[in-house]
Structure 1
Amino acid sequence: MSEHVLFVDFSSDNSVRITMAKPGRRPPPANLYQCASLGELDTALQDFLARAEEPDLMAAALSVCGWERDGAFEMPNHSYRIERSWLKDRLNISRLHLVNDCVATALAIERLEGPERHVICGGKDDPTQMKAMIAIGRGLGTTCIFTDEMGNPVAMPCAGGHSDLPATTEREFAIVSRMAQTYGHVSRVRAVSTAGLVEVYNLLNTIDGQSNWSSDAAGIVELARNADALAQEAITLVTGWLAATASDTALCTGARGGVFLAGSFFDLLGDMFDPAYFARRFCAKGRLTAYLEDIPVYLVQTQEPEMVGLSTLFA
């Protein structure tokens, strides 16, 4: 009898993470493979399965930033597509799940253990109400989670990262105006992402007549640690826009069950993330300030939450 499920995460550029577990079990840490083509994916699968002594698989689940069309997985962050039939034949399985990476992360929320969720601000969650999850890394994803009549969590993918980027101060307006000249429509992901941090920092340099442009988000964070004023301001601006995204999402969905933040952006910022400033901006909604003060905001602090979420499909 088949006893294992294969989990594959495509949420990083030109690489995949692969792991395996028995149904209902939490997957162990994944193996990372460079994977810029379908051929390299086949090689990665071959290597992983060989190292696992060719296990008998009952199913597989994939976490991808993309969608399925005509039986193929379209992945805008990768230069290739995967045919569903090819993968099922390659793994000799009949059950295959394709899950948006943000949804996969959201599905992990119910399996987080105590230290894996850190309270940033807010009151006590209402477990009967909607939850929201915001993932920020190279992109910005939003998901709503509700409980069905059987008590199971259901995650609904959204496209909140492409909603309008607001400007509430003169400095924010100056940046949004510059972005509008370049892109036309200015979505939140233009600023609230690792690439967004780079763009915000470079625009601040342009606006202030400086020439210390950078293409490296990690380098900008390091500059901020070394008291570079524009790098610190860029992080503050992006943090403020993230908080506004979180509070707007909470208001639009009624997420009194809590707002969860996840993604590689927080690993990048580390101690440069200011939870107190985030909390102030999150609650700054005029007459609805008290409403937001009651909603807890959590920072997800676990490795590979996408894999944990995928495993819930087989509980």
Structure 2
Amino acid sequence: MTALVGDIGGTNARFALWNGQHVEAVRVLPTADFPSVEAAIRAYLQDIGQPVEALQSVCLACAGPVSGDEFVFTNNHWRLSRQAFCRELGLRDLLLINDFTAMALGMTRLRDGELIEICPGQSEIGRPRLVVGPGTGLGVATLLPLTDGGWRALPGEGGHVCLPVGSAREAALWGCLHAELGHVNAEAVLSGSGLLALYRTSCVLDGKQPRLASPMEVTAAALAGDAYAEAVLEQFCVWLGRIAGDNVLTTGAQGGVYIAGGIVPRFAEFFARSGFSRSLRDKGRMSRYFDNVPVWLVTAEYSGLEGAGVALQQQLESMSY
């Protein structure tokens, strides 16, 4: 019988088999290419030569708040009904979890060489750890250590908190964003589309004509030495530090901070020397709170799938008692 795990974001759906507590047969499918998650799963199974009838267990990690039967994906066109999903694929149950619940659990499966130290420190035993990841959106979750040595992931929607303002420049940028968007959340700048929005807003503020048309172009120009693109990417890193620092204070995450997601690893060296660390601890009289908080950049490719597998394994083990 087949256990399937999926990590579904706004742009891509990643699927794999969960076998022997490991993922295998990983495939990445663009969500735009399929009308539904069921259609994408059927295409995945056909590609790897597995019959739909062999499916026994499925865990899907999905971008957005998870509750009830109906799930509407935050950043793509798919909708999902647990009952309809199980009926179509012949399953008794579907384990549906938030994508950053899976990402957080994936941090417990990291291997050597999948972390880059950004801020040195020492994890405080028994304290939570924070996971933050800019991608198609901005994911935030918390890892809680358990007394038996395991971990519990707490889901949340921290990417939709209000974007903090820490300087006159940021206030001016926020004003431009507010005039366009109304409510300005963290994801408005700390995501793929957010990086492009930050670049365009900066151009408006500075009276410049935008010449870069995608987040990839902004990143590439910054890494190639374009001074204006560098300044925009620097502001992105600074704002990420502010959000991460706010969440550390809120959750007490002195166990450490993982920076995950698909964006930041593309400019790891730039990020390591950016103002991220300074803005992380720019909290007035609480700045010393961060003196020993380690920060790591995660370079693992499929942490969300690994975490979905961990969640599925936990469910299967609990059902066996």
Q: In the alignment, which of 109, 114, 130 is matched to residue 116 of structure 1?
A: 114
Are positions 1:27 and 2:23 aligned together?
A: yes
How far apart, CA to CA, are the structure 2 residues paired with 1:39 and 1:140?
24
Matched residue type, 2:250: C
Cα distance change on mapping 1:255 and 1:41 into 2, 3 Å: closer
Q: In structure 1, what is the equivalent of residue 236 of structure 2?
A: 238
Q: In structure 1, what is the equivalent of residue 319 of structure 2?
A: none
Cα distance change on mapping 1:171 and 1:26 into 2, 3 Å: same
Are positions 1:257 and 2:262 aligned together?
A: no
Gapped regions of structure 1 (runs ≥ 5): none
Matched residue type, 2:99: D
Q: In structure 1, what is the equivalent of residue 265 of structure 2?
A: 267
**1:68, distance to aligned residue in structure 2 (A):** 4.5
Cα distance change on mapping 1:209 and 1:113 into 2, 3 Å: same
Cα distance change on mapping 1:12 and 1:29 into 2, 3 Å: farther
Are positions 1:163 and 2:155 aligned together?
A: no
Cα distance change on mapping 1:93 and 1:218 into 2, 3 Å: same
Count of residue correspondences: 311
Q: In structure 1, what is the equivalent of residue 13 of structure 2?
A: 16
Are positions 1:92 and 2:90 aligned together?
A: yes
**1:69, distance to aligned residue in structure 2 (A):** 5.5
**1:176, distance to aligned residue in structure 2 (A):** 0.9
How far apart, CA to CA, are the structure 1 residues paired with 2:81 and 2:21?
28
How far apart, CA to CA, are the structure 2 residues paired with 1:120 and 1:267?
12
How far apart, CA to CA, are the structure 1 residues paired with 2:50 and 2:251?
46
How far apart, CA to CA, are the structure 2 residues paired with 1:282 and 1:69?
32
Matched residue type, 1:112: L
Secondary structure of 1:30's aligned partner? strand
Secondary structure of 2:97's aligned partner? strand
Are positions 1:184 and 2:182 aligned together?
A: yes
Q: In structure 1, what is the equivalent of residue 79 of structure 2?
A: 81
**1:64, distance to aligned residue in structure 2 (A):** 0.8
| Residues 66, 97 of structure 2: 8 Å contact kept | no
How far apart, CA to CA, are the structure 2 residues paired with 1:20 and 1:243?
35
Secondary structure of 1:290's aligned partner? helix
User: Alpha carbon RMSD of aligned pairs, Å?
Assistant: 2.2
How far apart, CA to CA, are the structure 2 residues paired with 1:251 and 1:272?
25
Q: In structure 2, what is the equivalent of residue 227 of structure 1?
A: 225
**1:272, distance to aligned residue in structure 2 (A):** 3.1
| Residues 237, 274 of structure 2: 8 Å contact kept | no
Query: TM-score scaled by structure 1?
Result: 0.90
**1:270, distance to aligned residue in structure 2 (A):** 4.3
Of 32-41 and 69-78, more deviation after overlay is shown by 32-41
Are positions 1:52 and 2:61 aligned together?
A: no
**1:153, distance to aligned residue in structure 2 (A):** 1.2
How far apart, CA to CA, are the structure 1 residues paired with 2:191 and 2:39?
31
Question: What do residues 21-52 of structure 1 show as CA deviations (whole Å, max 9, x unaligned)?
Answer: 22x52202521234447656444333432333
**1:219, distance to aligned residue in structure 2 (A):** 0.5
Question: What do residues 87-121 of structure 1 show as CA deviations (whole Å, max 9, x unaligned)?
Answer: 22333322321111111100111111121122211
How far apart, CA to CA, are the structure 2 residues paired with 1:187 and 1:167?
11
Percent identity between the two aligned chains: 26
Matched residue type, 1:30: V
Cα distance change on mapping 1:69 and 1:214 into 2, 3 Å: same
Gapped regions of structure 2 (runs ≥ 5): 315-321
How far apart, CA to CA, are the structure 2 residues paired with 1:67 and 1:215?
31
**1:288, distance to aligned residue in structure 2 (A):** 2.5
Are positions 1:201 and 2:191 aligned together?
A: no
Q: In the alignment, which of 276, 290, 305 is matched to residue 307 of structure 1?
A: 305
Cα distance change on mapping 1:121 and 1:79 into 2, 3 Å: same
Cα distance change on mapping 1:264 and 1:81 into 2, 3 Å: same
How far apart, CA to CA, are the structure 1 residues paired with 2:72 and 2:83?
14
Matched residue type, 2:186: R
How far apart, CA to CA, are the structure 1 residues paired with 2:9 and 2:227?
32
| Residues 122, 296 of structure 1: 8 Å contact kept | yes
**1:267, distance to aligned residue in structure 2 (A):** 3.4
Question: What do residues 95-152 of structure 1 show as CA deviations (whole Å, max 9, x unaligned)?
Answer: 3211111111001111111211222113110231111111111211211111234443
Q: In structure 1, what is the equivalent of residue 5 of structure 2?
A: 7
